[in-house]
Amino acid sequence: MLGLPDTTQACLFDLDGVVTKTALVHAAAWKQMFDGFLRQWAAEHGTEFVPFDQVREYDEYVDGKPRLAGTRSFLQARGIELPEGSPDDPPTAQTVNGLSNRKNALVLELIDKQGVQVYDGSVRYIRAVRAAGLRTAVVSSSANTVQVLTVAGIAGLFDARIDGVIAKERGLAGKPAPDTFLAGAQELATPPSRAVVFEDALAGVEAGHAGHFGLVVGVNRTGQAQELLKHGASIVVDDLEELLDR
């Protein structure tokens, strides 16, 4: 009744956009940060200010990726070169690290003001997965995963966590590389072929496909079902609860 292969032993869930509605918060923070930077850049270089596209450019360049990788990817797409800087750069610094730190500060500010909402269908599905005896892990590029899980009150739904903090500590490549999902499966003592990945980001389904997991479930939150399939999803659903009927 879970819509999964009979051999499945574990489920690996992305957080933002799959379990929590924080993908919307991240998109808003990216836009606020990039628009402020782009406006200043245009004024200093005498070029036209073209705002960050919160849908297309978010999906293509930053969604699902580690924060620094997302910043680099977008700047490269716009033909903008900035120094890398260092992790302790202030949010006002015109460096890759500075812009990334500004984005993170905005996310934390929005979470503090708005709290964290969950997708009820996802929570019901994860509870059903656990009731069936399957192990669960959250695999997220976010360095704020612990805070989000705590504020949402859902930390107890997962047996293991691989997030941006752990990935940095272990030197794991971020999505679309499969490293973080493979680490999640390892934490659950499950071979990839017996684990299922749940992702809403294009980089995330690419990672699941590259890791040769038993199934990659694309979660279509923004009307990109065909893109999710094209990037590596085995199946696509609009909500995880749909799988309870399969």
Place of tokens 């859902």: 154
120 is catalytic: no
Query: Which letter does DSSP use for residue 174 in this model?
Result: P
Each as own residue / partner, the long-range contacts of residues 56-60 (CB below 8 Å, 24 or more positions apart, any chain) are 58/27, 58/30, 58/31, 59/201, 59/202, 59/222, 59/224, 59/227, 60/202
- Encode 51-74 in three state secondary structure: CCCCCHHHHHHHCCCCHHHHHHHH
Please pick, among 6, 16, 53, 238, the residue that the annotation labels catalytic: 16
* Residue 12 backbone dihedrals phi, psi, to 5 degrees: -115, 115
Residue 172 region, left (φ>0) first, then alpha (ψ -120 to 50), else beta? Answer: beta
238 is catalytic: no
Q: How many Å apart are CA 11 and CA 13, to the nearest integer? A: 6
Please pick, among 6, 14, 179, 245, the residue that the annotation labels catalytic: 14
Q: Which residues are identified as catalytic? A: 14, 16
